[in-house]
Structure 1
Amino acid sequence: MNSNTFAHSAFFDETSSSQRFVAELLGKADIRINGDRPWDIKFNAHGVIDEALARGNLGLGESYMNGDWDAEHLDEFFFRLLRAHLPEQINPRKLVFHHLRTRLINLQTASRAFEVGEAHYDLGNDFYAAMLDPRMTYTCGYWKTAETLDQAQEAKLDLICRKLELEPGMRVLDIGCGWGSFMAYAAEHYGVECVGLTISREQADFGKSLMQQGLPVEFRLKDYRDETERFDRIVSIGMFEHVGRKNYRTYMDVANRCLKDDGLFLLHTIGKNVRDTSPDPWLDKYIFPNGELPALGHVTDAAEELFVVEDLHNFGADYDRTLMAWHENFEAAWPQFADTYGERFYRMWRYYLLSCAGAFRARDIQLWQFVLSKKGKLGGYRRVS
Structure 2
Amino acid sequence: MSLKAKNFIESQLHRAGVLINGNRAWDIQVHDERLYDRVMRDGTLGLGEGYMDGWWESQALDQSLFRIMNAKIQNAFPRDIALVLSTLRGRLLNTQRLRVKEVAEKHYDIGNDLYAAMLDKRMIYSCGYWKEAKSLDEAQEAKLDLVCKKIGLEPGMRVLDIGSGWGGFLQFAAERYGVNGVGVTVSKEQATLANERSKGLPVETLLQDYMSLEGQFDRVISIGMFEHVGYKNYRRYFEKARSLVSDDGLMLLHSIGGNHSTTHGDPWSEKYIFPNGMLPSVAQIGAGTENLFVMEDWHNFGADYDKTLMAWYENFQEAWPALKSQYDDRFYRMWSYYLRVFAALFRSRNIGLWQVVLSPYGVPGGYTSVR
Normalization by structure 1: what TM-score? 0.95
Q: Report the CA distance between 1:339 and its aligned residue.
A: 2.2
Query: Which residue pairs with 2:247 in the alignment?
Result: 261
Query: Which residue pairs with 2:89 in the alignment?
Result: 101
Cα deviation, 1:316-375, whole Å, max 9, x if unaligned, reads: 000000000000000000011112211100000000000000110000110000000000
For residues 90 and 190 of structure 1, the distance between their equivalents in structure 2, rounded to whole angstroms, comes to 51
Moved over 4 A (4+): none
Structure 1 residues 200 and 143, CA gap change in structure 2 (3 angstroms): same
Query: Which residue pairs with 1:55 in the alignment?
Result: 42
Percent identity reads 54
After superposition, where does 1:309-348 map in structure 2 within 5 Å? 309-348=295-334
Cα deviation, 1:134-161, whole Å, max 9, x if unaligned, reads: 1000000000000000000000000000
For residues 201 and 54 of structure 2, the distance between their equivalents in structure 1, rounded to whole angstroms, comes to 47
Which of 284, 292, 296 is the aligned partner of 1:306?
292
For residues 228 and 215 of structure 1, the distance between their equivalents in structure 2, rounded to whole angstroms, comes to 22
For residues 344 and 218 of structure 1, the distance between their equivalents in structure 2, rounded to whole angstroms, comes to 36
Gaps (5+ residues) in structure 2?
none
Which AA in structure 2 matches 1:96? V
Cα deviation, 1:39-92, whole Å, max 9, x if unaligned, reads: 111111121111111101100101110001001111111111111111121123
Please state whether the residue corresponding to 2:298 is helix, strand or coil: strand
Query: Which residue pairs with 1:90 in the alignment?
Result: 77
Q: Report the CA distance between 1:107 and its aligned residue.
A: 1.2
The answer as to 2:173 corresponding to 1:200 is no
Which AA in structure 2 matches 1:115? E
Which AA in structure 2 matches 1:150? D
Query: Which residue pairs with 2:10 in the alignment?
Result: 23
Which of 325, 347, 367 is the aligned partner of 1:381?
367
Q: Report the CA distance between 1:276 and its aligned residue.
A: 3.2
Please state whether the residue corresponding to 1:123 is helix, strand or coil: coil
After superposition, where does 1:95-174 map in structure 2 within 5 Å? 95-109=83-97, 111-174=98-161
For residues 3 and 175 of structure 2, the distance between their equivalents in structure 1, rounded to whole angstroms, comes to 63
The answer as to 2:63 corresponding to 1:76 is yes
Query: Which residue pairs with 1:239 in the alignment?
Result: 225
For residues 115 and 85 of structure 2, the distance between their equivalents in structure 1, rounded to whole angstroms, comes to 33
**Contact 2:91 2:263 (C-alpha < 8 Å) held by counterparts:** no
**Contact 2:263 2:278 (C-alpha < 8 Å) held by counterparts:** no
Q: Report the CA distance between 1:181 and its aligned residue.
A: 0.4
Cα deviation, 1:226-267, whole Å, max 9, x if unaligned, reads: 001110000000000000000000000000000000000000
Q: Report the CA distance between 1:100 and its aligned residue.
A: 1.2
For residues 210 and 73 of structure 1, the distance between their equivalents in structure 2, rounded to whole angstroms, comes to 37
How many residues align? The count is 370
Please state whether the residue corresponding to 2:68 is helix, strand or coil: helix
Query: Which residue pairs with 2:171 in the alignment?
Result: 184
Q: Report the CA distance between 1:277 and its aligned residue.
A: 5.9
Query: Which residue pairs with 1:4 in the alignment?
Result: none
Q: Report the CA distance between 1:214 and its aligned residue.
A: 2.1
After superposition, where does 1:362-381 map in structure 2 within 5 Å? 362-381=348-367
Please state whether the residue corresponding to 2:366 is helix, strand or coil: coil
For residues 141 and 69 of structure 1, the distance between their equivalents in structure 2, rounded to whole angstroms, comes to 31
For residues 11 and 33 of structure 2, the distance between their equivalents in structure 1, rounded to whole angstroms, comes to 19
Query: Which residue pairs with 1:3 in the alignment?
Result: none
Normalization by structure 2: what TM-score? 0.98
For residues 228 and 324 of structure 1, the distance between their equivalents in structure 2, rounded to whole angstroms, comes to 38
For residues 74 and 359 of structure 2, the distance between their equivalents in structure 1, rounded to whole angstroms, comes to 38
Cα deviation, 1:268-310, whole Å, max 9, x if unaligned, reads: 0000101136310000000000111101111111000000000
For residues 180 and 132 of structure 1, the distance between their equivalents in structure 2, rounded to whole angstroms, comes to 13
For residues 241 and 86 of structure 2, the distance between their equivalents in structure 1, rounded to whole angstroms, comes to 30
For residues 91 and 13 of structure 2, the distance between their equivalents in structure 1, rounded to whole angstroms, comes to 30
